[in-house]
Amino acid sequence: MNKAKIYLPTKNSMQSGLGKSDKWRIEFKTKDTGINPLMGWETSSDTLSELNLEFSTKDLAIEYAKKNKIDFEIIEPQKRRTIKKSYADNFLK
């Protein structure tokens, strides 16, 4: 039985914009991890670990997982907190 997580990816920390962060993603959990003896990289014989599926809504992702009999866990996104700052605050402390 395949296990997966359904989540909304966070924004790229190297960018200030929120592009490509509105699609829900199904990511399969890796089984049988090991170390490649030749290169020393982490490897797996499970090809599903390389598969990431994107959906426009959470409901579509859940429906897909149920239809294909995939055990899943949903990770809800946390609300962003913005702190209003003033340039003058740099000089008041």
Q: What is the CATH number of domain 3-92?
A: 3.30.160
Q: For residue 62, what pLDDT is reported?
A: 95
Domain boundaries, the chain: 3-92
59-77: per-residue pLDDT in tens?
999 999 999 999 999 999 8
CA angle 53, 21, 45 (to 5 degrees): 30
Where residue 1 falls among pLDDT bands split at 50, 70, 90?
low
Q: For residue 57, what pLDDT is reported?
A: 94
> pTM (2 decimals)?
0.72
Mean pLDDT across 1-21:
82
46-57: per-residue pLDDT in tens?
788 788 899 999
Query: Are the C-beta atoms of 44 and 33 separated by less than 8 Å?
Result: yes
